[in-house]
Structure 1
């Protein structure tokens, strides 16, 4: 596969002069001096490490992802529909309608009204800038909101006593904002902790001072396998973060660096977190310690590491009886993941889930505890959610209980917020305003539904929160109900591996899910020649046999 974009990517705002680039380097066949276009090589000669990161000028109001074709994604599978019978509901045309599909789920012991939640959004600027919409949106959606890493450590108003956080207004705000609209039953707030957070005592602070119930340990994410990064625009803040133990590049205490910053040679510092080195015994003991501190549930978030590490992660999660394991496939990020790492590091989501299911199959066969699993990594719609859950079934329902998202919820909140701002300035796109009006109460389609639920308090909801609710409930929720009704599955735990088929040889080879051309070919003949009126008896018998055969097809 040629790398046509190796020297020009939208994520780094680079381009090339000619279209017929060298397929290996991505460079123009002839590179000339008098060219004002900045390719990756040219921009790197001027800006160096800045070109490692996505469009630095939009930091805090953008997200980024890989633009690499991994050769296998969710489009390589097709959802199989059904007409005979129904599961999870009475097979009655007046009852088995798609609005009656139940898309609620329980993930890690937490009831979710929709099978999606927001993955860890921490100290990166885009999370802070849009927290109001994200947290309130998750709460009114009956979902989980994970407060990501480094929030206390990045809080300039935090009080740190003897190396431990004893007060963090930013963390307090993030927890409170979710709870302002939380019904206390559906969803919950989760505090994520990395190496820096554990040193700072963020977990103990959240459990004891803020009465948080759930702590999530973090080992990494699909966008990068190194510590979290953010940009710092203030010299004093960069110096303070270095004093707190963070890695800050370039060194804000170096007089030459300070002069270059003041002269405008560069505009931002980089703050990096340390990477962790988990050990089996230490991890299990750490989880026991967290529960002793008051954690009612403990989650683990991990990235898309090599296969052996994936197996190690599942072994640790099993031994520690983790409540929910979130596994993040390559390669998207919420702000500052290195572009080369997003594109060319870690295991893409479908390949990764195939590895995980191989491990889960072995674990179940050997009587090991299997935690609830959530997958992340480029999910944006209901078809991908359905397919991931279907792939995770090993005969007793989906192992994947929910899908974690980051970029998509942020986009939903950003877009709703931005269009509200445009409406106030009477600057909405003319075509949009003509069709949907300039009134947010009208162009936000779920506004009336939320007004009925919250009454006058609907005006207290950030427009970004309404945007997230609309995206999750009115789009993904209804879309998922329709897909499930089409497969005659009316509860999420009824979705089965046999509900999807591969439409490429690679998909079959990687996942073990048979090609659509091979599925039920023998059953077709038996139904046609069966003496019953509709062949449902034969189909029922074959389904039981196939449920056993499903396991043997998983590599």
Structure 2
């Protein structure tokens, strides 16, 4: 069997003409010249190199379509009926509502979380409610790389950013709901770092936390964007971007004027950071006023994972987030989202193995977050349990953004008097329909009635995840998630058993 998708994808609105498919190639087994052209090959024949990336980017998000041979569904959740761990063995204390979900991490400036959830980097679509909902829920959230490109008022002088007013709006989206839990973090890739975004964020806008990122979307490489003409290419080059071919080259200019110039592309630089750069750079950011420093990594080679953890340990960063194959948001090459990197649970196994080894050497280890395709409470519980006390939090990105988008859209429909049919049984107003609004009022008072429905949607979705995790923890008679471990999981397949026995990398 093949685990790869056919040559059809939501990335590009493509599909196979035939129901009969050649499994290895993903093509229709019977390909005919009479076909009007609906598959990936036809789109590539017309659009060429640009189809390496999803053509459906914009006000949407996409992720891997590959059905990996192992994921968290290969495990069931265990259960017990005797005992009570983390609570006194009585009915008043040993119950679902007393399961402790709080987390705290940080080397020098502790960050408190109401639950073991983080909303990873994103700066597209409804980011205001994504960040606002995180603050309401009391968890961390991350402003995605290249956020500067969202600001039409951005100014760069002598290769450094000197004016980035949109950053304040991004930070304030969290700050205005901040209740002492969680944190908003600015993610910076190599381009952001070279342009001095961390300095600007800390000194001008008072940003408290910076995340340094290895790889675009944590999916391996940096994005390539086609430019419409030489003028746009020159403008990009002037802002410090790499542009190919060089629009300032006289031969290229001549070719453009003669109509024989190839397409212009801008390509972000690959991170070539190492310990010699990162350790002093992180110390420098702290000296500027950064309270917390994070790293963002993905499912790279085992040795690369180990090196990042060692660098994080030496630089005393507060947390490292590892992003496994199966996630994504649409800025990575199509096949890279499907065919690159360690699947999330395999990556988590590798990270845990490395951390356990380094702890035996007496090294201090940053907090660990695992992300990549999480959307429900059973997956979150399984990752925490599989982490054996090593995993501090689980990142939920695409699903939380879906909550932000749908929460906002449904709120708008309700205000217009157009309540969705499937929700009419719950009421006709936002107060009646949004079930966890009462919980927000208990935290913020009656001003919560005026909160954005999108942010309420994010809060409600995360609240549901937390409540579900409490149920699974209580099922295992563990009333503090610090006690979760792999005994709380039941491997269902041979692959799952081999993974837990440490045989995956043999």
TM-score by length of 2: 0.91
**Which position in structure 1 is the counterpart of 2:337?**
342
**Which position in structure 2 is the counterpart of 1:198?**
193
Report the Cα offset of residue 60 of structure 1: 2.6
- Structure 2 gap ranges (5+): none
Aligned with residue 78 of structure 1, among 71, 76, 79: 76
Q: 1:180 to 1:16 in 2, by over 3 A?
A: same
Aligned with residue 141 of structure 1, among 137, 152, 156: 137
Q: Is the 8 A contact 1:223 1:332 kept in 2?
A: no
SS in 2 for 1:352: helix
Distance 1:39 1:344 in 2: 19
**Which position in structure 2 is the counterpart of 1:547?**
none
Distance 1:493 1:501 in 2: 19
Q: Please give the per-residue CA displacement for 1:266-291, whole angstroms capped at 9, x wherever unaligned.
A: 9xx97542111122222222222222
- Structure 1 gap ranges (5+): 261-265, 515-552
**Which position in structure 2 is the counterpart of 1:51?**
51
SS in 1 for 2:88: coil
Matches within 5 A, 1:481-496: 481-496=470-485
SS in 2 for 1:10: coil
Q: 1:294 to 1:455 in 2, by over 3 A?
A: closer
Aligned with residue 412 of structure 1, among 387, 403, 406: 403
**Which position in structure 2 is the counterpart of 1:497?**
486
What root-mean-square deviation, in Å, do the aligned CA atoms of Structure 1 and Structure 2 show? 2.8
**Which position in structure 2 is the counterpart of 1:465?**
455
**Which position in structure 1 is the counterpart of 2:235?**
240
Report the Cα offset of residue 233 of structure 1: 9.0
Aligned with residue 64 of structure 1, among 62, 65, 71: 62
Q: Is the 8 A contact 2:386 2:485 kept in 1?
A: yes
Matching of residue 321 in structure 1 with residue 316 in structure 2: yes
Q: 1:3 to 1:372 in 2, by over 3 A?
A: closer
**Which position in structure 2 is the counterpart of 1:537?**
none
SS in 2 for 1:362: helix
**Which position in structure 1 is the counterpart of 2:171?**
175
Distance 1:320 1:291 in 2: 11
Report the Cα offset of residue 16 of structure 1: 1.4
Report the Cα offset of residue 103 of structure 1: 1.1
Q: Please give the per-residue CA displacement for 1:423-458, whole angstroms capped at 9, x wherever unaligned.
A: 34444432x143223422222111233234334422
Distance 1:257 1:420 in 2: 50
Matching of residue 351 in structure 1 with residue 350 in structure 2: no
Q: 1:150 to 1:4 in 2, by over 3 A?
A: closer
Report the Cα offset of residue 53 of structure 1: 2.6
- Please say which of residues 487-496 and 239-248 is displaced more in the overlay: 239-248
Distance 2:104 2:145 in 1: 24
**Which position in structure 2 is the counterpart of 1:96?**
94
Distance 1:346 1:554 in 2: 14
Report the Cα offset of residue 195 of structure 1: 0.7
Q: Is the 8 A contact 1:148 1:193 kept in 2?
A: yes
- Please say which of residues 47-56 and 289-298 is displaced more in the overlay: 47-56
Distance 2:434 2:267 in 1: 39
Aligned with residue 187 of structure 1, among 174, 182, 185: 182
Report the Cα offset of residue 12 of structure 1: 2.1
**Which position in structure 2 is the counterpart of 1:333?**
328
Q: 1:46 to 1:62 in 2, by over 3 A?
A: same
Q: Is the 8 A contact 2:4 2:338 kept in 1?
A: no
TM-score by length of 1: 0.83
Distance 2:485 2:292 in 1: 28
Q: Please give the per-residue CA displacement for 1:44-73, whole angstroms capped at 9, x wherever unaligned.
A: 1111233223342xx332111111121110
Matches within 5 A, 1:285-434: 285-393=280-388, 398-430=389-421, 432-434=422-424
Q: Please give the per-residue CA displacement for 1:469-528, whole angstroms capped at 9, x wherever unaligned.
A: 00001x1011011111111111121112222121111112123289xxxxxxxxxxxxxx
Distance 2:342 2:239 in 1: 33
Matching of residue 27 in structure 1 with residue 27 in structure 2: yes
Q: 1:16 to 1:191 in 2, by over 3 A?
A: same
Distance 1:156 1:403 in 2: 34
**Which position in structure 2 is the counterpart of 1:523?**
none
Q: Is the 8 A contact 2:4 2:67 kept in 1?
A: no
Q: Is the 8 A contact 2:216 2:332 kept in 1?
A: no
Matching of residue 282 in structure 1 with residue 277 in structure 2: yes
Q: Is the 8 A contact 1:4 1:22 kept in 2?
A: no
Aligned with residue 427 of structure 2, among 407, 429, 437: 437
Distance 1:434 1:231 in 2: 46
Report the Cα offset of residue 131 of structure 1: 1.8
SS in 2 for 1:313: helix
Report the Cα offset of residue 221 of structure 1: 5.7
Matching of residue 40 in structure 1 with residue 34 in structure 2: no
Report the Cα offset of residue 3 of structure 1: 5.4
Report the Cα offset of residue 406 of structure 1: 1.5
Distance 1:258 1:441 in 2: 62
Report the Cα offset of residue 228 of structure 1: 4.4
Report the Cα offset of residue 232 of structure 1: 8.0
Report the Cα offset of residue 151 of structure 1: 1.6
Distance 1:400 1:153 in 2: 33
**Which position in structure 2 is the counterpart of 1:121?**
122
